[in-house]
Amino acid sequence: MSSFSRKFSRFIKSSDSPDSRAIVFIDSRINRWDDLVQQAIPEVRVIVLGLMDDGISAITQILNTSFCREVYLVSSGSPGCIYLGGSELSWNTLIQYESKLQSWFWHLDLHAPSSQLSDSQLYLSGSNVAMGDVGEEFLAKLNSMTGAAIAASTDVYSSKIF
């Protein structure tokens, strides 16, 4: 088991299958994150990111060995900024993480039929990341770097996975 998940291993619901329908990364700062883990539907893989975890590296490591095209980031944040474990992903740090973000879905397109190219989806839930001009610019840049369609919501429970 990777070091980033040891602390929260009892909260990880997963078949550890690289072809899970979806992968959900939950920042441990979210209120009642353990309830979210328990409420996730069985077809999804759930990973909790602790404050000491390098969230971006953990997500990159998992996505690079997965065939999943549907990824949820459940976190706290502010316009143009989300927190993933000990990592801050914001308008100001996007360039720092560019190579990792670009790798999140690239390997899927190498093996996909042309009808499935670029159908990856990245959902950001539970924060105000999309609010205002900086939020919109952040999402546009994140879309450009990952190649995934991006959707954001302030309501964690509006997702179809909980």
- Measure Cα distances from 18 to 44, 45, 157 in Å: 11, 9, 25
Query: Which of 27, 34, 123 lies closest to 76 in space, CA to CA?
Result: 27
Mean pLDDT lowest among 16-30, 57-71, 136-150: 16-30
Which single residue is written with the structure tokens 């953990």?
58
Residue with tokens 């993933």: 84
Residue 62's domain is classified under what CATH number? Answer: 3.40.50
Phi, psi values for residue 52, rounded to 5°:
-90, -5
Split into its structural domains, the chain has a count of 1
Mean pLDDT of 27-39: 85
Q: Which residues contact 95 (CB under 8 A, 6 or more apart)?
A: none
For range 21-29, the mean pLDDT: 89
Question: What residues make up the domain containing 71?
Answer: 3-50+57-111+118-158
50 DSSP assignment: P
Look at the pTM and tell me if it is higher than 0.85: no
Residue 79, pLDDT > 60, answer yes
Q: Which two tokens stand for residue 24?
A: 């959900």
Radius of gyration in angstroms for the set of CA atoms belonging to the chain, rounded to a whole number: 14
Q: What is the pLDDT of residues 41-69, one digit of tens each?
A: 777 888 999 999 999 999 999 998 888 88
